[in-house]
Structure 1
Amino acid sequence: MKLRSLFSISIATALCCILSLDGFAQSTRSSYFMKTSYTRTSLNAALRPDQGYIGVPLLSNIYLDARTNTFNLENLTFPLNGERVTFMHSQIPASKALSNISDDNYVTTNLAFSIMSAGFYRGDSYWNFDFGIRANADSNVPKSVFELLKVGFDENETVTHDLSNVSLAGSVFAEIGVTNSRTFLNNSLTLGARGKLLLGISYVDLDAESLNITAGSEFWRAKSRVTLKGAGPGIKGKYDENEYDPTKQDFDGFNFGDFNIPGYGLGIDIGAVYDFKDAPVGFLRKLKVSYALNDLGFISWSKGNFIQLSSPETEVIVSPNDYSTHNDGSTSIIDIFDHALDDLRQAVNLHEDPRTSGYTATLRANMNVGLEYEVWDDKMTAGFLYSTRFGNYFTTKEFTLSANYTPKEWLAASFSYSLAYSAFKTFGLAVHIAPSRGINFFLASDYSIVRISPQWMPTSTKAINVQMGVSIPFGGRRP
């Protein structure tokens, strides 16, 4: 994978929202309070479905999610003479082009794919087994990158842009998990824990501790102190001849050896649910509170499958692309950033560091706090869920309100609204069909109405996710 590709993950994922797609867990928050949902165990190890199940192999849980605070067409394009043009158009002033860009512009993405899973009750205990693949990525592009593109070639002055907050961190790993939950205190308290064996497949961590580019009318002068960590089967650095200086060799990506498991790790989820059904005050008896901490753990990458590169803080002259070709605003956003990524690759002069050992990376931990109140006996509840995801370089939060309706034992639905990313432009919806015999099916999304362009780019949406699964009922219902 080229360094250009590493940068591209952060941009292309944000713009297209189609890569491995929340880092909060492996289930939509719309399913958190649904009694029929067996995937909600991944949000809180103490939450249990109404009945046991056997997941249909490869189809029991497919979950995709992406969220951002900036990257959509509404922020990067503008109306002009009856059409939309990019922020690079010469008639779009810099103040307007940068008005919707934050100091830090992040994307967080996640994929969860279950290969095999099953859950069943044994007495008052619930057991769940799952084997699947997970992938996630966090990336951040500072506002200074957009400023560099928009005003970096002002012929009247030379300007220095600080790009130090550029970052990217991501991993792909297999997860083998076993969950057990039990009830206590006359079934008022449920405690659950999930132990996980993790098999690392790949890892990347790009951190620009210092990256300054002084832009002139004809060239860029760059100084950087950047670290790139990578892991994969037999990973080695690849170097190509410098396009502008044949005496130099530039890092140009990775080569890989024979397949093996490059990393091993452990993880744990813990959760609790308390039902106030025996409370002395009447209105409290319809209340449930829940708390969970997930993905506490690590993956250790072995020496032969890990590489670290860094750039000494030396000056590099970059002959940048000609951005005047984008001034008519007709070029696609992808092409604009493609040129920018080429130039950033030149500015970051990476060299391999000698290492005598491997590397241990922590998981992206997350926390869920839930309140559920029964509105209609065994039929409808109102829920509030607060979720926090502790990322490598930034923390994201979400507040979700939901109305959860179970008209029949085999049918459940949830209507939700997430405050941080929906912006009154979308809502969540989950539907579960769960008969005691036959095939169970669910479809859910926390952001179910998404406006996209003909090129499948989000127009105003800041988040998108979808989840689906198919299973077969197994064993009895919850005691």
Structure 2
Amino acid sequence: MATNKLLCSFRIIGVFSIMLVCALSANAQFLRTSYFMEGTHYRQQLNPALTPTKGYFNLPVIGAVNATVGSTSLGYQDIIDIIDDGDDFYKSTDFMNRLKDNNKLNVNFSTEILSAGWYKGKNFWSFNIGLRTDIGANLTKSMFTFLNEMDAIEDNWRNSNYDISGQQLNINAYTEIGLGLSRQINSRLTVGARVKALLGIGNMELKLNKIAMSANLPTDQQINEWSSDSYWSGSSEAIVAKAQELKAKFDNYHANLTVGAELKSSFKGLELKEEEGKDYVTDFDFDSGKLGIAGYGFGIDLGASYKIMDNLTVSASILDLGFISWSKSSTKIASANPEPIDIKGSTYASMVDPANAQSSVTNALNKLQNDAENYMDLVTQGDVLNYDMLQLEVGDAKESRKSRLASTLVLGAEYGFFNNKLAVGGLYTTRFVQPKAMTELTFSANYRPKNWFNVALSYSVIQSAGKSFGLGLKLGPVFLGTDYMFLGKNSNSVNGFVGVSIPLGGRKVNKQG
């Protein structure tokens, strides 16, 4: 069975990736490896209190580009195959063995369209206009098992029991306009904050809350046998006995399909199409010419850094506290609660009349076969997001809706050596993305002899399952970094950060260091 429309949700991801001019599949909008690199300003993305040694002006668009793809179980190539709708990838035994019961996928992309920072007296000011996207999904192993077994065994749908509930997709895309201020309170304490106006590009929440199916139905061979004249040859007593036997078999047959889903979308230019004669969604259509601001919001970052002793500094921040309110006019609501398919064997058993055995059994078989084919048409298309199965009915949005930002908690500690030119540090982050928060613990060693030259080596133990490492390098105006080095197609987490900036103003001596 071909899977040309395996997951419509990931096609939607592709549409929005193009819409956002995102060339990379993109779990974090910052680089953990940069946190203890004093010569770079990019660490302010993790904590607004961590001021750089000099002011800066980032080159437009390419000044700070970050893209990451991460999963709790799937490898990089697995994710690319799903998004690209690769043929038969789910048939691989290695792929199926890597899956957990629930498989989380987080993708995001961020770039600074325009950003700069400068010192003014005791204060460090910063300004940015940036693009942010967050994509999160939950895919269950039962879904891939369903696709695999339905494809491998032609008549598997006739005798099966699957529950593929719990699939979820979340997309959030917005433009951020931020103004930040950091101030050194004394020789030990520095605090910082950034306020952000948010222009919502789009938001989508799709939940397949319930998709469960089970069946016990006769095969075509059995139906053909029971319909043939030769089956009904023999004495009248034998014919009656056969009718009674089939009546008992019919009573045990059944097929059930229960569906429940909901879609909330706030994207200008996104239309939920309905075919003529159908009162439910049959396609998604996106008109990039209608793209615009679909909502407005507010966010704030707060941070602090405290020097406990000359060589030991601790820091903490909370990022992206805020929300976006999506306009009623840009919002589409759809829900799927179609009447469940409930094929009961008793319906066909009651049609059997031993006094008119052959014709009554034939009529019962014809009805059973017709009902079974309708059931088959829904469950064997190789699509989890099967429009005909879901029957998403569009409803009017009664009011605007809100979505919260993916907030992040950051805790750090570092110890410096050799007049603070060499440091080791530990960093804890929890990012409250959908559908489930992602936590990371990163250890790093940092060599920072000059403002124009910093290098860091990091090791993040959770998201990459301890199978990757990170690097950061600042060389003059260029910064390159990764938290998760790409080490082959089955890497669970991969990311890259590129920044190019122009120094502003004279060198600022950090009184804490």
Q: TM-score range by the shorter chain?
A: 0.7 to 0.9
Contact 1:273 1:289 in 2 (8 A): yes
**Separation in 2, partners of 1:141, 1:271:** 35
Give the stretch that moved more between structures: 97-106 or 210-219.
210-219
Cα displacement (A) at 1:387: 0.8
Aligned-partner residue type, residue 308 of structure 2? F
Q: Percent identity?
A: 32
1:35 alignment partner, SS class: coil
Of 41, 48, 51, the match for 1:48? 51
**Unpaired segments ≥5 residues, structure 1:** 77-84, 278-284, 324-338, 435-439, 452-458
Q: Deviations over 1:34-54 (max 9, x none)?
A: 001211111111111110011
Cα displacement (A) at 1:33: 0.6
Q: 1:374 to 1:399 in 2, by over 3 A?
A: same
Contact 2:378 2:389 in 1 (8 A): no
Cα displacement (A) at 1:273: 0.8
Q: Hey, what does 1:328 align to over in structure 2? A: none
Q: Deviations over 1:250-305 (max 9, x none)?
A: 4311455734311100001111111113xxxxxxx311111111111111111111
Contact 2:270 2:285 in 1 (8 A): yes
**Unpaired segments ≥5 residues, structure 2:** 17-21, 80-87, 220-253, 342-373
Question: Which has more radius of gyration?
Answer: 2
Q: Hey, what does 1:293 align to over in structure 2? A: 318
Of 96, 112, 115, the match for 1:114? 112
Cα displacement (A) at 1:167: 0.3
Contact 1:390 1:396 in 2 (8 A): yes
1:166 aligns with 2:164: no
Contact 1:444 1:467 in 2 (8 A): yes
**Separation in 1, partners of 2:291, 2:197:** 19
Q: 1:258 to 1:100 in 2, by over 3 A?
A: closer
Q: Hey, what does 2:262 align to over in structure 1? A: 227
Contact 2:66 2:495 in 1 (8 A): yes
Q: 1:426 to 1:432 in 2, by over 3 A?
A: same
1:276 alignment partner, SS class: strand
Give the stretch that moved more between structures: 219-228 or 361-370.
219-228
**Separation in 2, partners of 1:235, 1:228:** 13
**Separation in 2, partners of 1:87, 1:260:** 37
Cα displacement (A) at 1:139: 0.4
Contact 1:220 1:319 in 2 (8 A): no
Q: Hey, what does 2:238 align to over in structure 1? A: none
Q: Hey, what does 2:483 align to over in structure 1? A: 446
**Separation in 2, partners of 1:180, 1:143:** 46
**Separation in 2, partners of 1:59, 1:141:** 33
Q: Hey, what does 1:303 align to over in structure 2? A: 328
Contact 1:382 1:404 in 2 (8 A): yes
Of 443, 464, 477, the match for 2:494? 464
1:370 aligns with 2:371: no
Give the stretch that moved more between structures: 45-54 or 314-323.
314-323
**Separation in 1, partners of 2:60, 2:481:** 19
**Separation in 2, partners of 1:227, 1:107:** 20
Q: Deviations over 1:221-254 (max 9, x none)?
A: 532211101112254421125xxxx666543114
TM-score for the superposition, normalised by structure 1: 0.80
Q: Deviations over 1:376-412 (max 9, x none)?
A: 3221100111110112221111111100001333200
Q: Hey, what does 1:281 align to over in structure 2? A: none
Contact 2:444 2:458 in 1 (8 A): yes
Give the stretch that moved more between structures: 310-319 or 356-365.
310-319
Q: How many residues align?
A: 421
**Separation in 2, partners of 1:425, 1:59:** 29
Q: Hey, what does 1:398 align to over in structure 2? A: 440
**Separation in 2, partners of 1:322, 1:209:** 17
CA RMSD of aligned residues (A): 3.0
Aligned-partner residue type, residue 21 of structure 1? A
Q: 1:18 to 1:314 in 2, by over 3 A?
A: farther
Q: 1:306 to 1:247 in 2, by over 3 A?
A: closer
**Separation in 1, partners of 2:398, 2:385:** 32
Contact 2:76 2:492 in 1 (8 A): no
TM-score for the superposition, normalised by structure 2: 0.75
